[in-house]
């Protein structure tokens, strides 16, 4: 069975929409506040959903290629975030223990008299099969990128 262009676009953009819904469920139902890098991973998914809607209305390869770029972008951020979580490299100073926060933990920061706590980018709040949410975002997003690329190649 060959998937046609509209179906591939719906699957790719729908996948990004599902990733956003999942992130919001973790945030609001699971009460897991997102860190700075978590937010960064959401923005390309929003772009992919918008691109998907437009790509269903406009023919051509340009929009599916932009969708692939968005999916690849969030996948890349997910890989970066995974590296920060695993200590492979330093994360942003504003949300990682090694940067400008002086090695404070998330609990230390929450106890400060700040109006809101800082969610640490280098801590893993949830994982499945030894992969964090950032890792799963990367894996799934690169799969979505593949769907976008197939849609760009499709003539129908």
What CATH number corresponds to the domain at position 51? Answer: 1.20.1550
Q: Which two tokens stand for residue 92?
A: 């942003």
Give the orientation angle of helix 133-153 with respect to helix 5-28, to 10 degrees: 160
The model carries a pTM of 0.81
- Stretch among 21-30, 47-56, 110-119, 142-151 having the lowest mean pLDDT: 110-119
> In a 10 Å sphere around its CB, with 0-12 CB exposed, 13-18 middle and 19+ buried, how is residue 67 labelled?
buried
- The tally of CA atoms less than 13 A away on the side-chain side of residue 107 is 1
**pLDDT tens digits, 35-85:** 888 899 999 999 999 999 999 999 888 899 999 999 999 999 999 999 998
Q: According to the model, what pLDDT value does residue 117 have?
A: 65
Which domain does 45 fall in, by range?
A: 5-153
Would you state the pLDDT for residue 107? Answer: 53
Number of domains in the chain: 1
* DSSP class of 131: E
Whether the CA torsion 134, 138, 143, 145 is positive or negative: it is positive
Task: Give the position of tokens 């990128």.
Answer: 145
Does the pLDDT at position 113 exceed 70?
Answer: no
First to last CA, the chain: 14
């Amino acid at each position: 069975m060959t998937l046609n262009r509209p179906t591939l676009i719906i699957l790719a953009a729908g996948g990004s929409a599902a990733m956003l819904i999942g992130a919001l469920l973790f945030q609001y139902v699971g009460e897991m506040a997102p860190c700075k890098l978590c937010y960064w991973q959401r923005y390309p998914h929003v772009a992919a959903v918008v691109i998907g809607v437009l790509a269903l209305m406009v023919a051509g390869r340009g929009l599916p290629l932009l969708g692939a770029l968005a999916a690849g972008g969030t996948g890349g951020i997910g890989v970066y975030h995974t590296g920060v979580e695993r200590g492979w490299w330093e994360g942003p100073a504003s949300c990682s223990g090694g940067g400008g926060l002086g090695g404070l933990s998330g609990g230390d920061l929450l106890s400060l008299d700040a109006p809101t706590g800082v969610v640490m980018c280098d801590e893993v709040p949830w994982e499945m099969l030894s992969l964090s949410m950032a890792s799963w975002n990367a894996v799934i997003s690169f799969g979505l990128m593949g769907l976008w690329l197939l849609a760009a190649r499709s003539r129908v």
